[in-house]
Structure 1
Amino acid sequence: MQKIFSKWVQRYFSNEEALLLFLLLFVSGLVIWHLGGALIPVFAGLILAFMMQGGVNRLKSIGLGHKSAVATMFIAFTGFVVAMFLFILPAVWTQLVNLFNELPGMVTKLQQVLMLLPQNYPELVSAEQIRNLIGTAAAELSQLGQWLLSFSLSSLTGVLTALIYFVLVPFLVLFFLLDGDRLIAGWTAFLPKKREMMDQVWNEMDSQLANYIRGKAIEILIVGVATFISFALLGINYAALLGLLVGLSVLIPYIGAAVVTVPVALIAFFQWGWSDQFLYLMLAYTIIQAIDGNVIVPLLFSEAVNLHPVSIIVAVLVFGTLWGFWGVFFAIPLATLVKSIVSAWPTADELPPPDAG
């Protein structure tokens, strides 16, 4: 066994650059594991900088200088964020509070529907089981509603956190856009001059990560706006809230769409019951999901993501468990990173022979 292990180590870890890359990845993982919470503003700044970098490059291609292009994109993005906070988020928050206020009535209606099951299928479910299920669900919803209504930024911690995000993140984005090349040069100055493997992995990940983040932002915007417009035209309550949920659900491939279908179907059922309006809304929702999966995603991510669906689901589960929301958000880029490293990793068979003499 020891001989087999020694041969395996000799085959895959005999290259100094490979060992250095493994060490860097290990240290980076430890830093994120222990300091992930403190580094959230940095992650947010990097994501926003990646999103805006494409626009900066396009403005530079039409003749603007680097600083002018960065300033233009930064002002445009700031205006978009301000509009979100002034118009969209207040409407979503109001609909969310109204939804929780109506939850007791929805639970009562759901109980009436479920109590028909013991009458029609007594051999499968009992009335006691239904009552226990409804009681558990009502207790959980009550606790969630109390937390929502009592949630406030009046605490000192909440105010400090908000100040960090609203002051520090924009500065980080601006500096990443203005001095990104110099920052990268400074961070890589201590690395060996000859680093073909690292450069290969970095070049592949830099392109794919930028395409993924920009593509995901565009996908969220398209799916969210299309859902809101469709639901508003069909007259469903909480159209803005549902549009936001459906838009954000694309962050979690496959799983997100399945999970968000539940609140969409329940709200439509509580409003209309088993009616034509319910069927029309679910048809519209199905069409949006089909267009997203078969048109939008292939157009946006045909080059950025080349992973099997099983690999994507496993990556979401693993990295989401390790790092929560950020693990879910970066699950596909991290899986792509693993794939790039495996593809570029040298073995003893591929190494050049030592110099004679």
Structure 2
Amino acid sequence: MFDYLSRWYRARFSDPQALTLLFILVGITLILYFAGGLLMPLLVALVLAFLLEWPVAQMARIGINRTMAASLVLVLFIGVMILISFGLIPSIWRQGSSLLAELPNMLDKGITLLQQLAQQHPQFISVEQLDSMLAELKKLLDTQHLLGIGKQLLGYSASLLVLMVYAILVPLLVFFFLKDKEQLIKGSKRFFPSNRELARKVWFEMEQQIFNYIRGKVIEIVIVGIATYIFFALMGINYAALLGVATGLSVLIPYVGATLVTLPIVLVAFFQWGFSAEFGYLMLGYGIIQALDGNLLVPLLFSDAVDLHPVVIIAAVLIFGGLWGVWGVFFAIPLASLVKAVINVWPSTDNTAATAKVSVTQ
């Protein structure tokens, strides 16, 4: 057993390039895990700068000064964010507060409906069994407690201090990341080992994939959110803006997000219309939007960025989401692709020997 482990270690870690790559990956992971909360404004600025680098580079290519290009792109981006904030967030806030306030009544109506169904169809579940289940549920989930938690979360999300920090620091950091990109990259190289050719190979393989994924995911969120909102508004469902935004954001969690966001849509539509034609039309249209997203939009946007099995994607969402929350979920697929790229380029003396043997034979 010891000999086997020894041979495996020599095969996988005898190359100094592999050790350098391992140290870089472990170091970055530890920094993100233990200091991710403190560095969150910096990480957000890095992500935004990465996304905005392409238009800045295109403007610099046609002769515009990089400082001017970074300023123009950042001003345009901030303007779009301000329009979204003043045009969309207040409506979502009002609808979210209204939905939380109405949630106890919706739960009461749902319980009443279940009791009526139990009385009409006792062969499936008796009234006594339903009452017992509801009693246990009430012990685990107190409606008033849930309402208080929801309002508390809404209050935390609007923390003035956090908003001020992000509103001031993040744009400033993004500007300097875009303006002084070359100087910052050159200065950061001193903190990495010199024999980092394998790490550079992994980065070159992942850079375009990460950009394509983030760009595609932002486009998917916008398209799905707007299309769903327009459809919900035309149908006249309550909380159309809130449910549309939730549907758009649900694409952040592949496979799981659509399932989670469907439940509140069904509940709101049912308590508004009951089992009626409007309810059927709404669910049919919502299903068509989800089908077009999964079978048309996703292949168009991510054909070159995602080459992972659905099981791997779900596992990555669970693992990285558990480690880093929302950001872990958002970057689950790029991180899984990074792991795949590292495995593909990781040196092995066995593979090297086999390749050499084939070459000699030929």
TM-score normalized with structure 2 length = 0.90
2:341 paired residue number: 340
1:97 paired residue number: 97
Counterpart of 2:202, as a letter, is: V
Inter-partner Cα distance in structure 1 for 2:322 and 2:236: 38
Contact 1:153–1:159 under 8 Å retained in 2: no
Counterpart of 2:110, as a letter, is: L
Deviates most, 2-11 or 114-123: 114-123
1:175 Cα deviation after fit = 1.6
1:146 paired residue number: 148
Is 1:272 the equivalent of 2:273? yes
SS at match of 1:251: coil
Contact 2:12–2:347 under 8 Å retained in 1: yes
SS at match of 1:332: helix
TM-score normalized with structure 1 length = 0.91
1:226 paired residue number: 227
Is 1:255 the equivalent of 2:225? no
Structure 1 residues 141 and 72: alpha-carbon distance in aligned structure 2, compared to 1, 3 A threshold? farther
Counterpart of 1:293, as a letter, is: G
1:311 Cα deviation after fit = 0.7
2:50 paired residue number: 50
Is 1:169 the equivalent of 2:188? no
Structure 1 residues 67 and 3: alpha-carbon distance in aligned structure 2, compared to 1, 3 A threshold? same
- After TM superposition, list the pairs within 5 Å mapping 1:284-295 onto structure 2: 284-295=285-296
Contact 1:215–1:300 under 8 Å retained in 2: yes
Q: Gaps spanning 5+ residues in structure 2: where?
A: 357-362
1:152 Cα deviation after fit = 7.0
1:29 paired residue number: 29
CA offsets 1:138-172 (integer angstroms, 9 cap, x no match): 944422322344567699x9433222211111112
CA offsets 1:40-68 (integer angstroms, 9 cap, x no match): 11221122222222332343455533222
Structure 1 residues 67 and 134: alpha-carbon distance in aligned structure 2, compared to 1, 3 A threshold? farther
- After TM superposition, list the pairs within 5 Å mapping 1:1-357 onto structure 2: 1-134=1-134, 136=137, 139-149=141-151, 158-350=159-351
1:24 Cα deviation after fit = 1.5
Contact 1:47–1:213 under 8 Å retained in 2: no
Inter-partner Cα distance in structure 2 for 1:301 and 1:128: 51
1:121 Cα deviation after fit = 4.0
Structure 1 residues 275 and 165: alpha-carbon distance in aligned structure 2, compared to 1, 3 A threshold? same
Contact 1:201–1:344 under 8 Å retained in 2: yes
Inter-partner Cα distance in structure 1 for 2:308 and 2:156: 45
Inter-partner Cα distance in structure 1 for 2:22 and 2:282: 50
SS at match of 1:189: helix
Deviates most, 81-90 or 230-239: 81-90
Counterpart of 1:21, as a letter, is: L
CA offsets 1:80-127 (integer angstroms, 9 cap, x no match): 111122120000000111112222221121112111332244354333
Inter-partner Cα distance in structure 1 for 2:186 and 2:200: 13
Contact 1:51–1:217 under 8 Å retained in 2: no
Inter-partner Cα distance in structure 2 for 1:3 and 1:324: 41
Deviates most, 91-100 or 110-119: 110-119
Inter-partner Cα distance in structure 2 for 1:129 and 1:54: 61
SS at match of 2:88: helix
- What percent identity do the matched residue pairs reach? 47
Counterpart of 1:29, as a letter, is: T
Contact 1:219–1:296 under 8 Å retained in 2: yes
SS at match of 2:180: helix
Contact 2:11–2:350 under 8 Å retained in 1: yes
1:181 Cα deviation after fit = 2.9
Inter-partner Cα distance in structure 1 for 2:156 and 2:111: 37
Contact 1:50–1:213 under 8 Å retained in 2: no
Counterpart of 2:267, as a letter, is: L
1:71 Cα deviation after fit = 1.6
SS at match of 1:307: coil
Contact 2:118–2:124 under 8 Å retained in 1: yes
Inter-partner Cα distance in structure 2 for 1:154 and 1:244: 20
Q: Gaps spanning 5+ residues in structure 1: where?
A: none
Inter-partner Cα distance in structure 2 for 1:273 and 1:89: 29
1:132 Cα deviation after fit = 5.0
Inter-partner Cα distance in structure 2 for 1:304 and 1:188: 27
